[in-house]
Amino acid sequence: MDDASEREIALIEAYLHHKLDPYQSLQVRKRIEKDKTFAQKVLLYQNITQNNMTLGGQDSEDQWENEELISSNFNWWPLLVGGVLLIIVFGVLYWPSEEAPENLPLKYFTDHFEPYKDIISDNVTSESRDIKKGFDFYHKQQYDSTVIALERYLENIPDRTVEFYLALSYLADNQDTKALEYLKKLATDTSFILQPSAQWYYTLALIKTSHLQEAQVLLKE
């Protein structure tokens, strides 16, 4: 492993363990948003360290090198995300019926849904009144009002990233049919920079609405 790779791993590890100062953390987050490859590495390293803490196993740096070797030959990002989601779907489908809590799919959704961080509102002009209002509501988790503002914004300015937040707001506001429509489109759009996140939320939406077999098929594709 060369010096640059070692420095990058050290940076990711410090970020994940909250050892950076606020300015450094902000720079890492900005890089995650702009650099898809770096974002994949952060998630991969997080997955590796979590596996080592829970299962034991080989040294994280050695495992990192093995994962890098694999990643040079395979598109491992869908497999990584899919593996996490497959665990969720498997649990919903095969939980022993006598132990299953009432409405298990909804419980899984509630346990795993968190609103995606806002990467838009700091970068819009003062003229974009609807989007600023929409994200003010989004931060307050007032999703019904978020929907109204973002729908109004999208009437005039098509924007897939705003559509992503609108879909999450639909989902949180129990407008599940609309959420599924938007998330399905974004989850299958390979040119959309947040496609992996859209896949995550689309699968959560399928689980929430008890489309468990469809979620399982999606993870096997």
Over residues 81-94, the pLDDT tens digits come to 455 555 555 665 55
Give the Cα separation of 79 and 71 in Å (integer). Answer: 11
Tens digit of each residue's pLDDT (9 = 90 or more) over 14-23 = 888 878 777 7
Residue by residue, DSSP assigns 45-57 as HHHHHHHHHHH--
Q: Which amino acid is at 154?
A: L
pLDDT at 138: 96
pLDDT at 72: 38
Give the Cα separation of 36 and 50 in Å (integer). Answer: 21
Nearest to 46 by CA among 31, 30, 63, 34: 63
Contact 171, 201 (CB under 8 A): yes
Give the Cα separation of 28 and 25 in Å (integer). Answer: 5
Tens digit of each residue's pLDDT (9 = 90 or more) over 161-183 = 999 999 999 999 999 999 999 99
User: Running DSSP on this structure, what letter comes out for residue 74?
Assistant: S
Q: Which amino acid is at 102?
A: E
User: Which band of pLDDT confidence, cut at 50, 70 and 90, is reported for residue 111?
Assistant: confident
Six-digit token string for 89: 């779907």
Give the Cα separation of 4 and 8 in Å (integer). Answer: 6
**Interior angle at CA 182, CA 193 and CA 201, nearest 5:** 65
Mean pLDDT, to the nearest integer, of 107-114? 78
Mean pLDDT, to the nearest integer, of 118-138? 81
Six-digit token string for 34: 């702009």
pTM tops 0.85, yes or no: no
Give the Cα separation of 173 and 73 in Å (integer). Answer: 41
**67: pLDDT strictly greater than 70:** no
- Long-range contacts from 29-33, C-beta under 8 angstroms, 24+ separation: 33/119
Six-digit token string for 129: 């009144």
- What are the φ and ψ backbone dihedral angles of 60, each rounded to 5 degrees? -60, -35
Residues across the chain: 221
Mean pLDDT, to the nearest integer, of 115-144? 85
Contact 196, 75 (CB under 8 A): no
